[in-house]
Amino acid sequence: MACHHGHLEVAKLLSSYGASRAAVPTFATPERVANIRGHADLAAWLVASRGWTPLAHLETLTAARALSLLRSGASLHEGEPTPLQRAAGGEGEVAALIRQAAAPWSPASHSLFPAAARAYAVMVMRIGYQIAFSPPDDAEARPDWSALSDVWREHVLPHAVAR
């Protein structure tokens, strides 16, 4: 109905939630309906966004919804163009979140990772703390425990934790 009546913003919102673009019985595809009804701008947008996943809808998503998608495991690399490709040159908070989520794990990007990756990061960090704060075999050796845990967090975790 959004395509029938030429409601571009409604079509964008529905698409960002994964609305089907399949042909509807007694109608045609949304693109065809928009063309038949003379909504060239809507038809052009439907063609341009044909391969997008919900995360690729940078202009429609709120930062809260983008964060929710990222935390639930939405891929940065699926679709054509991918959300990361669209965000690479994009402006705004959603594009910035996607670019930050594509970077290696860090304390600053921790909240952008899916729950399983965040839990894994916590487990790996606990292992680092256990190593850093375990008593040395040699009582004379007094390592800098906080420095070792910092190295673990800054250099091991980014390689150990993946989206």
CATH code assigned at 23: 1.25.40.20
pLDDT (tens digit per residue) in 50-104: 999 999 999 999 999 999 999 999 999 999 999 999 999 889 999 999 999 999 9
Tell whether 61 and 97 lie within a shared domain.
yes
Upper half-sphere CA count for residue 105 (Cβ side, 13 Å): 24
Q: Range of 129's domain?
A: 111-160
**Higher pLDDT among residues 138 and 85, named by residue:** 85
Q: Which residue in this structure is represented by tokens 């595809």?
A: 29
Q: Which of 32, 83, 29 is nearest to 56 (CA)?
A: 83
Residues 117 and 152 placed together within one structural domain of the fold: yes
CA distance 13 to 50: 14
Place of tokens 């729950």: 115
Helix (H, G, I), strand (E, B) or coil at 80: strand
User: Residue 112: pLDDT above 70?
Assistant: yes
Cα–Cα distance list, 129 to 27, 144, 150 (Å)? 62, 12, 9
Give the whole-angstrom CA distance, residue 113 versus residue 59.
22
- Say yes or no: 90 and 122 in one domain: no
pTM: 0.81
Domain identity same for 93 and 115: no
The Cα 12–Cα 60 span in angstroms is 7
Q: pLDDT band for 37, please (50, 70, 90 cuts).
A: very high
Per the omega criterion (within 30 degrees of 0), is the bond before 81 cis? yes
Question: Can you give the pLDDT at residue 138?
Answer: 61
Number of domains in the chain: 3
